[in-house]
Amino acid sequence: MRLMEEKILAEGKVLPGQILKVGSFLNQQIDTALLAQIGQEIARLYDGAGVSKVLTIESSGIAIAAAAGMAMGVPVVFAKKHKSSNVDGEVYTASVHSYTHNADYTIVVSSDYLRPEDKILLVDDFLANGKALMGLSELVVKAGATLAGAAIAIEKGFQGGGDALRAQGVRVESLAIIDAMDDNGITFRPQ
Amino acid sequence: MRLMEEKILAEGKVLPGQILKVGSFLNQQIDTALLAQIGQEIARLYDGAGVSKVLTIESSGIAIAAAAGMAMGVPVVFAKKHKSSNVDGEVYTASVHSYTHNADYTIVVSSDYLRPEDKILLVDDFLANGKALMGLSELVVKAGATLAGAAIAIEKGFQGGGDALRAQGVRVESLAIIDAMDDNGITFRPQ
C-alpha cells in the first residue's frame, strides 16, 4: 500500500534498537483518513475470503481492527491481556512472550465471541517476531474456528515473524513490509 | 440514540453491583454496523463545533473514538494508562481514580499531539462517576487547548458524573443515559 509506505517515510522515526516510532499517525495519534483507507485495503485484500470476524489484541490494534471490521461489515473481537493466567469464566487463553517487555502475558477471549463456525481474520498494527499473531492463532484453534489469515499495517520483515507464519501456510498480508532500516533509511520489500 | 437504547435492552446484561455488561456489541466484541452509526451520530452532534481532535483513553474507548474521528475527519489521540507517575519525555499527565479497581492510575499523552490551538472532543464508551473524563479534561487544560465537550456511548446517569460535569458547564452528549437499572429492567433518561 503505497500510502502507508509514504507515511512511514514522511513521519516514521527510526530509534536505536530497530524501533520504528509511528506515534504521529498510527499509535498515540491516529490519522483517521489513513485509517479509513487501511480498513478499505484490508477489506479489498480479503474480499471473497468468507471472513466472519476480525480478531485483535488490545490496545494498539483496536483502531485498525475497527476500521477493517467496518469496511468488511463484520464484528470485531479483541483479546484482552492479563498478567496472570487466572481468568474466570468460559474463555480461551494463550501465552505470548513480549520481547519489548521481556515478559510473558496471557491473552484471553470469551468463548461467547469465538465460535466453531467463525472464519477469523487476525488484525494488528505491527508484526515483528510474530508471537502475538501466534497467540491469536492459538485462540482460533482452541475455539475450533477457521483462520482466514492476518492483515498487518506494518511488518518488520527483517525480524522474520511474518515469513515464518507464511512458511506454515498462514496467509499474511502486510500493508508495508520493512526489510531493513537504519540511520541511512528504510527499505521496503517490493509487493 | 434509539438504536443504542434498543441494543442495550436486547443484549445488555445487568450484573450485581450495578454493572452493565455490553461485551457482545461494545466491548470485547464490537458490532461494527452500530459502531459506524455511533461515529456518525457523534459527528452530527458536534457538527459546527470546530473540533480539531478526538481524545480518548486506552483501551475500551479507542474503537468509538476511531469511528467518531473517521466520521468527523479529524485525528484521534489516545492517552495511555501508566501505573506509576514516572513518565519520560515531554508529556502531560493526570491522575485518575478507578472505582472498579480501587486504585489510582496516571494517564499520559505526548505534548506533540495536544496543542494549544486544538479544540478537543473527549470520547469514551462509559461515563459513570466521571473521573476518567475529568482526567482527560485536565490534560486538555495542561496543553492550553480548548475543550469542545464530551461524547459518550453509555452514561450511567444514576452515578452522577455526567450531571456534575454539565453543572460545571462542560457539554456532555451521551447516546444513551441510564437513570436506573435493576433486576426489573433499565430506565433511560428521555433525550
Contact B143, B111 (CB under 8 A): yes
Fold of A2-188: Rossmann fold (3.40.50)
Is 80 exceeded by the pLDDT of residue B56? yes
> What pLDDT, in 10s, does the model give residues B154-174?
999 999 999 999 999 999 999
Amino acid occupying residue A43: A
Tell me what pLDDT residue B155 has.
Answer: 98
132-191 in A: which are within 8 Å (CB) of B?
A: none
> What pLDDT, in 10s, does the model give residues A126-142?
999 999 999 999 999 99
Is 90 exceeded by the pLDDT of residue B83? no
Which ipTM score applies to this complex? 0.94
Q: Alpha helices, DSSP H only, in A73-160? A: 131-142
Residue of B nearest to A112 (CA): B24
Residue B63, φ and ψ in degrees, nearest 5? -65, -45
Please tell me which of the candidates A28, A80, A112 has its beta carbon nearest to residue B110: A28
The reply to whether residue A58 touches residue B63, judged by beta carbons under 8 angstroms, is no
Up-side HSE of residue B16: CA atoms within 13 Å toward CB?
0
The reply to whether residue A32 touches residue B73, judged by beta carbons under 8 angstroms, is yes
- What sign results for the dihedral spanned by CA atoms A163, A169, A170, A171? positive
Contact B38, B153 (CB under 8 A): yes
pLDDT beneath 70, residues of chain A: 83-89
The reply to whether residue A28 touches residue B113, judged by beta carbons under 8 angstroms, is yes
> What are the residue ranges spanned by the domains of chain A?
2-188
Chain A positions touching B72 (Cβ under 8 A) are 32
Tell whether B61 lies on the interface with A, counting CB pairs under 8 A.
no
10-39 in B: which are within 8 Å (CB) of A?
A: 23-24, 28-33, 35-36
| Residues near B144 by beta carbon (within 8 Å), at least 6 away in sequence | B116
Integer Cα distance of B83 and B104 in angstroms: 8
Chain B positions touching A65 (Cβ under 8 A) are 63
| C-alpha pair distances (Å), B45 with each of A160, B36, B54, B175 | 46, 14, 14, 10
Tell whether B74 lies on the interface with A, counting CB pairs under 8 A.
yes
Tell me what pLDDT residue B16 has.
Answer: 87
Is 70 exceeded by the pLDDT of residue B100? yes
> What pLDDT, in 10s, does the model give residues B112-159?
999 999 999 999 999 999 999 999 999 999 999 999 999 999 999 999
Please tell me which of the candidates A30, A58, A78 has its beta carbon nearest to residue B66: A30
Chain B positions touching A23 (Cβ under 8 A) are 110, 112-113
